[in-house]
Structure 1
Amino acid sequence: MAITAKEVNQLRQMTGAGMMDCKKALVEAEGDYDKAIELLRKKGQKVSASRSDRETTEGIVLVKTNDDQTEGILIAFTCETDFVAKNDDFNALGNEILEAAYTNRPADIDALKALPSGDITLGEKIVENIGKIGEKLEITAYETMKAEAVVPYIHAGSKLGVLVGLSNTSGADVIEAGKDVAMQIAAMNPIAVDKDGVDATVVEKEIEIGKEQARAEGKPEQMLEKIALGKLNKFYKENTLLAQAFVKDNSVSISQYLDSVSKGLTVSVFKRVAIG
């Protein structure tokens, strides 16, 4: 049957799919819009299945906090190419996912994808967009945070995002200090807030590495433990946030910098998400 340009455009407005995809779907569905929409969704599912083993190393990291900055949400929405990462439809869907996460506070990514988007779920909408765009799309990170003050940071390019939770925030300039710390986390990628947050298996591994290095240097066996513990303290200074040297002033640690801004100000938690 003959399908008019008006009908094709109407389906395009309803689904956001390309003109040729809409025309093919309407022809196959013999002008039935519901059947055509179902065909477009099935196409998205087929594309999704065919690209399931692809890596999504591009995309956007998005953050949002409430008005008093005591709660924050961070998501990573990823794709295969930088071209798609800059696509308006891709970015609009990423922001819809962020808003849904912020409004509903789902428990995890699966629960986030189960939230409604019109008459379908967000997960189904992602699949639809896979069909339109022709690339694998996925939510690869979803983080939430509550703290006395939550400070967000998105690095240039939107491929890296940070949330910092501060405590003892009674002084002035704490949000600005939080931004400095967020940029520190973005740049230096600490593994924990302090040494108490470092996984025990990591500590054991670092001690063993320290012993092996000292042994290879010909140090006495009875000295290996002490030397390894000294190396472990260096590891903490380089890899835990509060002990790291402040990148804007290497003469002080992050802990000392925060205390100079407001007595007792510190970091209780942080989240860092990077794409690629």
Structure 2
Amino acid sequence: MLKKISAENIKELRSKTGAGMTDCKKALEASNGKIEIAIEALRKKGLASADKKSARIAIEGLVESYIHAGSRVGVIIELNCETDFVARQDNFHQLAKDLAMQIAACQSVKYVSKNDIPKDIITYEQNIEFEKEDLGNKPKEIKNKIAQGRLIKRLNELSLIDQPFIKKPEISVDDLIKQHIALLGENIKVRRFQRFILGEGLESKNDNFAEEVSNMINNK
């Protein structure tokens, strides 16, 4: 019989590990409420004490790039840490490369986290979900619940840290970063990134050029 996980259990585990509330809840559920087993599980995942470091200022780091095979997609990312010492570590460099590769693979990703998504984009996506035809005949309460669930899923698709890590899908990108925070002992933050796709945006420019040529001919 599974033990019911209380808020007090989660709070106790969080105070002992510094891990996030959700991670603590999952660890307790997996360990049937046994604190010591949950602590061990969090430590193995590299999540223990990671959140305690997440508020510290990260101004060092590096700019990493990734060019996909065929040279049609490229990514530049800025990854920050607290000291130049950690910025030189192989583990930190590998994390930056993995994150750049993740961004290249997940073309729906446009923001570091959901907190970075502008309010007008959230409103736009919300309106799309609420206006979908398959919700038209459903009661308002059910319609709102389904649309809200779909909105959360869509916002997750736009957020880098909410993606499953492509090399290890059982963890998220957020988990991957937390593991490196625990491993390297410093706060780590993705500050920004830019994806480049060969030929992106050229079609509209060509259309404008064609229009300009047509106008020139007609005006002769």
The alignment's TM-score, normalised by the length of structure 2, stands at 0.53
* Aligned match of 1:256: 175
The yes-or-no answer on 1:247 pairing with 2:160 is no
Distance 1:214 1:196, change over 3 A: farther
Q: What SS is found at the alignment partner of 2:171? A: strand
* Aligned match of 1:36: none
Match of 1:150 among 40, 63, 80: 63
AA in 1 matched with 2:61: E
* Aligned match of 1:162: 75
Residues 165-180 of structure 1: pairs in structure 2 closer than 5 A: 165-168=78-81, 170=83, 171=86, 172=89, 173-180=91-98
Q: Which one has the largest radius of gyration?
A: 1
CA contact (8 A) 1:149 1:169 kept: no
Q: What SS is found at the alignment partner of 2:170? A: strand
AA in 2 matched with 1:235: R
The yes-or-no answer on 1:195 pairing with 2:114 is yes
The alignment's TM-score, normalised by the length of structure 1, stands at 0.43
1:265 is displaced (CA, Å) by 2.1
1:176 is displaced (CA, Å) by 0.4
Q: What SS is found at the alignment partner of 1:193? A: coil
Distance 1:244 1:169, change over 3 A: farther
AA in 1 matched with 2:74: G
Distance in 2 separating the partners of 1:224 and 1:168: 43
Distance in 1 separating the partners of 2:82 and 2:60: 10
AA in 2 matched with 1:182: A
The count of residues paired between Structure 1 and Structure 2 equals: 131
Distance in 1 separating the partners of 2:163 and 2:196: 19
Q: State the Cα RMSD in Å.
A: 2.3
Instruction: State, as a whole percentage, how many aligned pairs show the same letter.
Output: 31
Residues 4-19 of structure 1: pairs in structure 2 closer than 5 A: none
Distance 1:148 1:213, change over 3 A: same
Deviations 1:215-237 (A, max 9, x none): 62633113433432221211122
Q: What SS is found at the alignment partner of 2:151? A: helix
Distance in 1 separating the partners of 2:60 and 2:195: 16
The yes-or-no answer on 1:267 pairing with 2:186 is no
Distance 1:252 1:217, change over 3 A: farther
1:147 is displaced (CA, Å) by 6.2
Distance in 2 separating the partners of 1:270 and 1:163: 6
Unpaired segments of 5 or more residues in structure 1?
1-145
Match of 2:149 among 230, 234, 237: 230
AA in 1 matched with 2:175: Q
Distance in 2 separating the partners of 1:239 and 1:163: 17
CA contact (8 A) 2:60 2:82 kept: no
* Aligned match of 1:68: none
Large movers: runs of 4+ above 6 Å: none
Q: Which has the higher strand share?
A: 1
Distance in 2 separating the partners of 1:151 and 1:169: 17
CA contact (8 A) 2:60 2:81 kept: no
CA contact (8 A) 1:193 1:267 kept: yes
CA contact (8 A) 1:174 1:262 kept: no
Distance in 2 separating the partners of 1:196 and 1:186: 21
Q: What SS is found at the alignment partner of 1:157? A: coil
Distance in 2 separating the partners of 1:223 and 1:208: 16
Larger relative contact order (Cα-Cα within 8 Å, sequence gap ≥ 6): 2
